[in-house]
Structure 1
Amino acid sequence: MADSAEVREAMRSLGRRLASFRRAVRLSQEALADKVHYGRSTVASVEVGLQNAVEAFWQRADDAVAANGELLRAYRSLVELRAAENRAAASVFAMPSIDRRVLPQPSRPAAAYVPFLPAALDRPALDWLVGEDPRRPVRDGCRLDEAFVVEAERRLATLRDRDHQLGAGAAYPDVMGFLQTDVRRLVAISPADGPIGRRAHTVALGAFELAGYQAVDLGADGVAQQHYLRALALTGAEGDRLYGAYLLAVSIGHLALHCGHPHRGLRMVQTAIQGGGPATTPLVGAALHAVLARAHARLGEERKCSNALAVAEASLSRADVDDEPPWVRYLSPAYLADEVAHCLFDLGHYEPARREIDQAVAGVGASRVRRLAIDTALLASTLARSGRVDEACARGREATDLARRTTSMRTVQRVAQLRLDLSPYEHEREVVDLFDYLHEVLPAAG
C-alpha cells in the first residue's frame, strides 16, 4: 500500500524478522516458499517490505520457521495499524460530485502525497453495481459540433501515443490540461444526445482513464484512485455498464494489486464481472478475466488463476475486433501473454513465464518503449530467479537502456526489482558490472 512512512517501516520490520527466523532454521527462500505454498518472488518481496501478504501466508510462515506466534502477532498489529490509518484518512476523503463543471485539481506529480485508500473503493463499487448514483450530471445546455469532438479524439490519441513512448512524466501535464479544457466541454453533454454525445462521452472517460494510468506511472497512486473513481461515477451516471465494468476491473482492480491489496483487487474484478452481465463483449471479458487471474496468482491460488486464464483466452479467441469498443482493441494475444507471464512469475513458474514474455515482447511495437522496458526487466528477473545470471545481466542492461528513455516510475520500479532479484549474486563480476551501470545511467533504480 502506498501508505504512511510508519506503515511502510512496519512492513520492512516484519519482513526483516521473517528473514531472520528463516535463516535461523537454515531455510532458503525457495524452501520457505514451498512450505507456505507461495512463490519465491512473494517471499523475497515480503522480506524486503515491498509486498503485503495475507494472514494465511503468515500463519504458515510462523509455523515453518518456528516463530511461536511472533510473526503472526506482528502481522496482525500491522493490519490494525493500517486499518486505523485508513479509517482516519477515509474520514476526510470524499468523492466529489460529478458536477460536469468540476474537474480534478491535481496537476503535477507532487500530488503523489495523496494516499491510496483501499477502504474508499467499496462504496463506489457497490453504487455502480446496484446502479445507484445520487450525483446526477449537471446539464448546462451545451452542444458540441462534430469537428470539436473529432479534434478531441485526435488529441487523446496523440496523448496516449506520447505516454506509451515516453512515460507519464512527459505527458501528464498535457493530459491534465486536456481535462481542464476540452474535457470540461465534452462532459457537458450526454451519450443520450446521439452519436456525437456518445463519442464525447467516450473521449471524456478515456481522458480520465489515461490520467489515472499516468498517475500510477508517476507513483501517485492516490491521485490515480481519484481519477478512476471519477470515471467510474461518470459511467454509473450515464448507465455505461460496459466501460464501467472495464474501469472497475482493469483500472481499479489493477491499481489495488499494484498497491499490494490482492483481496481488494479480487473483489473489484468480481464485482465488475457480475455487474457487466450480458453487456460484456468477448474482448472486455478477456480483459476482466486476465485481471481476475492476476489477483488469484498474487494470492497463490494457482488453480483459480488457471481457470481465469482459460476463460480469458477463450474470450479472446471469440472476439471480432470490429465489433468491440475502440478503447479495448489494444487487447491482443501479445497483451494477454504479458498478463499470463506476470501470473506465472507471481506463482514462481519462471521458465513458463519466460516463454510468455518472449511472446509478449515479440508482439509489442518498437514505439511502446515503456512496455518493452517493463517486460524486458521482467524477463531478466525470471532468468535471475532461475540461476541464469549471465543472461539476466544481459537482459537487465537492455531493460536499463529502455527505461532511461522514458519518464516512467513503473519502469524504474521494475528495474529496481531486478536488482533485488540479482542481490544473491551481487559479488559476481557480471552483476557488479550491471549494478555499476545502473548507478550510472538509472540511479533511481540503483
Structure 2
Amino acid sequence: MSGPVSMQPGEVFVHPLSYVRAERGWTYQDLVTVIARRVGNMARRREKAWRWEHWGVVPDRDTQLALAAELGVSPETVHARPWPGWLPVGDPIRVDFSWDQTGSRLALNHALEKAMMDRRGFVRLTGMSLTAFATDWLNVEPARLTSVLGGGQIGEEFVEQIEASLPRLHTLQGSHGGQYVRKLLDAELGMVTGVLEKSSYSEAIARRLHTLAAELGQLAGFASFDTGLHSAAQRYWVAAVHSAQAAGDRAVGADILKSMALQCRDVGDFPGSLTLARAAYEGAGKVTPRIASVLAMRLAWAHASVGEKAEAHRFLGIADTQFGRGTSANDPRWIRWFDEGEFHNHVATCQLDLGDPRRAELHLDKARNAYAPTRRRDYVGYLTKHAHVQNDLGNADHAADLLHQGVPLIEQAPSKRNVGKLLAVRDRLPDDTRRSDLDQRLSTLTG
C-alpha cells in the first residue's frame, strides 16, 4: 500500500471517498485492490474508483459491503445510510452548543480551531441534524445578555473600528474571491472571539461584539463555500447563527440560514434547502422590506428546486412586493448588496429553475448594468446565468462567448463555486458549438 496521501496547497477532498483514501494513504488502485480481495470477481481497474469519486457513480451493493468490511463499518450501517453517507469521514460538525453567550463563545472557538484545517469539499451537516438545527433556532427564546468582567475594558472605539472594516472585507471577497480572503476573515473573527472571552465590557458592547462575530462568521462561511470547502463553511455558519442569537439579532441569524440554504441547493440537497429557507423566512421576526424580500426570494428558489411551482410563484410575488416598498434608512449594512440589479438577477435564477428562460432573460436585461468592474466574482455568476438562458433559447454560440468572458474574471477572483457553475453550463452546450476552444480556456481553471 502507498503511504498517507499528502494534499497539495488548496486541494480539497471533493467526495467522502477522497477523504477515506487520504486517511488511509490509498491510491485509486489501492482502493479497488482491497475491494477485489474481498469480492473476488471485481475487475481491478482504478477508473472505477475515480468514477465513484468524481462522476457520482454508485458502487454496487457487494462492492460497498466489501469496502465497509475493510473500513470496519457494519452491514447494518451500509443498509441504513445510502452511499456515500455511511463512509467514515472524520469528526462531525457540532451543533449542540447552548443558545446563549457561553454557547456562542464555545461555538466560535470550535469553528476557529477546526474550520481553517477542514479541507472537506462536501457537506457534513445534513438530514435530521440539519433539520434539528434549523428547528432549534426557529423555536429558541432569546437569552438575556449580561456584562462581562474579564481583562481590559473594551469600549465603543474598538467595536466601531471592527464594524468599519466589514464593508472593506465584503468588497475584497467580491473582487478577489473567497480563497484569498478567508484567512483574513478567520483572523478578524479570532480577534473578536478573544475579546469576548478575555475582556470586560458592558451589556450593550456585548451585543455589538456578538453581532460582529455573527457577521464575520457569515463572511468567513461564504468565503469557504466560495472556495469549495463546504464543511468549513458549515462550521463558521453554525457558530455565526449562535452568535447572532446571543446578540438577539434574529435577522442576522436568518441571513446566515439563507446562505446555508443556498449551499444545500448548490450540492443538490433540495429538501434541506427548503427546510433552511423556510426557517429563515419564518424566524426572522420584524425586518425591513429589503430583508423580507431576499428571504422570500430564497424561499421561492427552494420551492422551485423541489418542483413546487405555485409556492415558488407565491413567494416571488411576496419578494417583489417587499422590494417595491423601497429601501429603508434602517437597513443594516449586511443587506445593502441586495440592490435592484441583484433583485432582478435573483428573479432570473428562480425563473430558470421554473423552466422559463424567456422571463429569466427579461430580468437579466434589467440586471445587466448592476455590477461594478470590481465585483468580478458576482459578475461571473451573472455571465454564467446569462449563458444558461441563451443556450436554452437556442443561442449556443452566444452562450459560449459569455462563458469565455467569465474565464479571465475567475483567474482574477478565484472561485471554485463559479468554476462549477461555468462547467455546468458548458456541459449543456450542443456538440457543434465552439466547445474545444472553450475547453482549452477552462483547462487553465481546472488543471
**TM-score with structure 2 setting the length:** 0.74
Are 2:183 and 1:176 equivalent residues in the alignment? no
The Cα RMSD (Å) is: 3.4
Question: Match of 1:105, SS?
Answer: helix
Per-residue deviation, 1:164: 0.5
**Contact map agreement 1:191 1:238 (CA 8 A) in 2:** no
**Contact map agreement 1:183 1:204 (CA 8 A) in 2:** yes
Distance 1:149 1:386 in 2: 51
Are 2:445 and 1:442 equivalent residues in the alignment? yes
1:99 corresponds to which of 97, 102, 105: 105
Distance 2:385 2:79 in 1: 29
What's the counterpart of residue 341 of structure 1?
A: 348
Distance 1:180 1:417 in 2: 36
**Could you tell me which amino acid in structure 1 is paired with residue 427 of structure 2?**
L
Distance 1:404 1:205, change over 3 A: same
Are 2:27 and 1:5 equivalent residues in the alignment? no
**Contact map agreement 1:350 1:385 (CA 8 A) in 2:** yes
What's the counterpart of residue 9 of structure 2?
A: none
Task: Point out the more displaced range, 131-140 or 356-365.
Answer: 131-140
2:338 corresponds to which of 328, 331, 343: 331
Distance 1:85 1:260, change over 3 A: same
Task: Point out the more displaced range, 407-416 or 143-152.
Answer: 143-152
What's the counterpart of residue 396 of structure 1?
A: 403
2:281 corresponds to which of 229, 248, 273: 273
Deviations along 1:136-168, whole A, 9 cap, x unmatched? 999453532222122212333222111110101
Question: Match of 1:85, SS?
Answer: coil
**Contact map agreement 1:191 1:199 (CA 8 A) in 2:** no
**Could you tell me which amino acid in structure 2 is paired with residue 431 of structure 1?**
R
2:223 corresponds to which of 195, 203, 214: 214
Task: Point out the more displaced range, 430-439 or 390-399.
Answer: 430-439
Structure 1 unaligned regions, length at least 5: 8-47, 52-76
Distance 1:240 1:154, change over 3 A: closer
What's the counterpart of residue 123 of structure 1?
A: 132
Distance 1:225 1:83 in 2: 19
Task: Point out the more displaced range, 324-333 or 138-147.
Answer: 138-147
Are 2:366 and 1:354 equivalent residues in the alignment? no
2:213 corresponds to which of 184, 204, 209: 204
**Contact map agreement 2:14 2:120 (CA 8 A) in 1:** no
Distance 2:263 2:92 in 1: 21
Deviations along 1:205-260, whole A, 9 cap, x unmatched? 11000010011001111111111111112222333222222222x22222221221
2:427 corresponds to which of 420, 433, 438: 420
Per-residue deviation, 1:201: 3.0
**Contact map agreement 1:403 1:412 (CA 8 A) in 2:** yes
Aligned ranges 1:14-413 → 2 under 5 Å: 80-82=81-83, 85=86, 92-95=92-95, 97-99=103-105, 102-103=109-110, 104-106=112-114, 108=116, 111-112=119-120, 115-119=123-127, 120-131=129-140, 139-141=148-150, 143-186=153-196, 193-194=203-204, 196-248=205-257, 250-277=258-285, 279-413=286-420
Distance 2:403 2:290 in 1: 33
Task: Point out the more displaced range, 166-175 or 321-330.
Answer: 321-330
Distance 1:309 1:164, change over 3 A: same
**Could you tell me which amino acid in structure 1 is paired with residue 313 of structure 2?**
S
Deviations along 1:289-323, whole A, 9 cap, x unmatched? 01101101111222211111110111111143312
What's the counterpart of residue 75 of structure 2?
A: none
Per-residue deviation, 1:177: 1.3
Distance 2:142 2:55 in 1: 38
Per-residue deviation, 1:123: 2.3
Q: If each structure's helix is expressed as a fraction of its own residues, which one has the higher value?
A: 1
Structure 2 unaligned regions, length at least 5: 1-12, 20-53, 58-77, 98-102
**TM-score with structure 1 setting the length:** 0.74
Instruction: Give identity over the alignment, percent.
Output: 24
